[in-house]
Structure 1
Amino acid sequence: MRPKPARRSNRERTETTRAELIAAARRLFIEKGYAETATPDIVAAAGLTRGALYHHFADKQALFRAVVENEAQVVAQEIDRASPSTLPPREALVQGGEAFLAAMAQPGRTRLLLLDGPAVLGRIAMDEIDGRHAARTLREGLAFAAEADAVPRSIPIDAVAHLLSSAFDRAALAIAAGADPTDYKVALAAMIDGILIRAA
């Protein structure tokens, strides 16, 4: 007699349903775009009901925000993995930047985070999300370099992080449009070196 499968807890069922909705929504937002994706399409793709969707998310925009948060979190995890604190500051910044570009090369990610994200959620909301994820890793990398006296104390770290973050975003968009990733990696490394060279 085979043992009965363990029953999932309410929390496990809730997390599974939420993950299924986010995964289905992600696919459709990438394929069709936010505006052309309707909630009935999402629940059909997830094999769930509209009631399940609205139990977890207030509306389509709230679901889109959850998709964007997930994507941003994955990107930050890839950066953190590629730039451990054991690396020297320059290598951590360069390798973290290359990890960002590699993570953003995942099909559809630039559309979600850099095109539809700001259009749907607004620039302030996207800056807030980015500030907890990729921009946070860049700011921490620059702060680490400053603590190691690799950046002059007169340089405002937050401003530099904001500008470099914008440069990385533009590079990701260009690469997604077909540009040579190597060119942008070289250019971004040169920008980082331009900041660090002044520490001599």
Structure 2
Amino acid sequence: MPRVSQIQLDARRQEILAAARVCFARHGYEGATVRRLEEATGLSRGAIFHHFRDKDSLFLAVAEDDAAAMVETVARNGLVQVMRDLLTRADSPDTAGWLGSQLEVSRRLRTDPDFARRWAARSAAIAEATRERLGRQRDAGVLRDDVPIDVLARFLELAYDGLVLQLAMGRPGSDLGAVLDIVEEAVRRPTPR
């Protein structure tokens, strides 16, 4: 029997994550039964759980994958860019899957103390990336300096949560780009007149 390379294993793992993301988004954590995960991935439960210990580990891997991508974007371009990316891709299946998994993470944070404990480190990484980016922007003279970094970060996090809620309710609206312009302007250093 031919050996499977690490590249092939990693590719299969990414395929499983992508299909599971859509399944969790469509059906929620509880509704994403093993049977539905098999249908979504086109793989047997043995193939799925060869890569992930159980459904909980699979869901956490989906959420971690999303969080890692978000941290990378925040570190490079800031949290407002994450929001702009969401708007740009609001109607794509990838964003719908990502949005659904974000909502499911939020629900599980409220209802599952064990999940909340496990998720704390991932959430902290996003918050830290946001604060580091804001610190660099402030040092470069781009951000206002009359408000503490923690308050600016919290403001952006609230704007992000509000945007996710608007998209989840199916109300993307053409004016949300203008709203993000205001959010971005609110954290920038005022230009002298």
TM beyond 0.5: yes
Q: For 1:180 and 1:56, how far apart are their aligned partners in 2?
A: 35
Higher mean displacement: 118-127 or 20-29:
118-127
The CA deviation at 1:170 is 0.7
Deviations along 1:132-189, one digit per CA (max 9) or x if unpaired, are 35x5554344222210233355632133213312212212321342435443332333
The match for 1:107 among 96, 104, 115 is: 96
**Cα gap change, 1:25/1:162 in structure 2, threshold over 3 Å: closer, same or farther?**
same
Asked if 1:129 is matched to 2:115, the reply is no
**Cα gap change, 1:78/1:123 in structure 2, threshold over 3 Å: closer, same or farther?**
same
Choose between structure 1 and 2 for higher RCO, CA contacts under 8 A separated by at least 6 residues.
Answer: 2
Q: For 2:161 and 2:64, how far apart are their aligned partners in 1?
A: 16
- Structure 1's unaligned 5+ residue stretches are 1-6, 84-91
What does 1:1-200 correspond to in 2, within 5 Å? 9-75=4-70, 83=77, 95=81, 97-103=83-89, 106-113=95-102, 115-120=103-108, 122-123=115-116, 125-126=118-119, 128-133=121-126, 135=127, 138-153=130-145, 155-197=147-189
Between Structure 1 and Structure 2, whose CA radius of gyration is higher? 1
CA contact (8 A) 1:43 1:50 kept: yes
- Structure 2's unaligned 5+ residue stretches are 110-114
**Cα gap change, 1:95/1:68 in structure 2, threshold over 3 Å: closer, same or farther?**
closer
The CA deviation at 1:97 is 4.2
Question: How many matched pairs?
Answer: 183
Question: What corresponds to 1:88 in structure 2?
Answer: none
User: Structure 2-normalised TM-score?
Assistant: 0.71
Q: For 1:28 and 1:46, how far apart are their aligned partners in 2?
A: 9
User: Structure 1-normalised TM-score?
Assistant: 0.69
Q: For 1:198 and 1:116, how far apart are their aligned partners in 2?
A: 38
CA contact (8 A) 1:30 1:112 kept: yes
**Cα gap change, 1:94/1:67 in structure 2, threshold over 3 Å: closer, same or farther?**
closer
**Cα gap change, 1:97/1:19 in structure 2, threshold over 3 Å: closer, same or farther?**
closer
Give me the CA root mean square deviation.
Answer: 3.3
Higher mean displacement: 164-173 or 136-145:
136-145
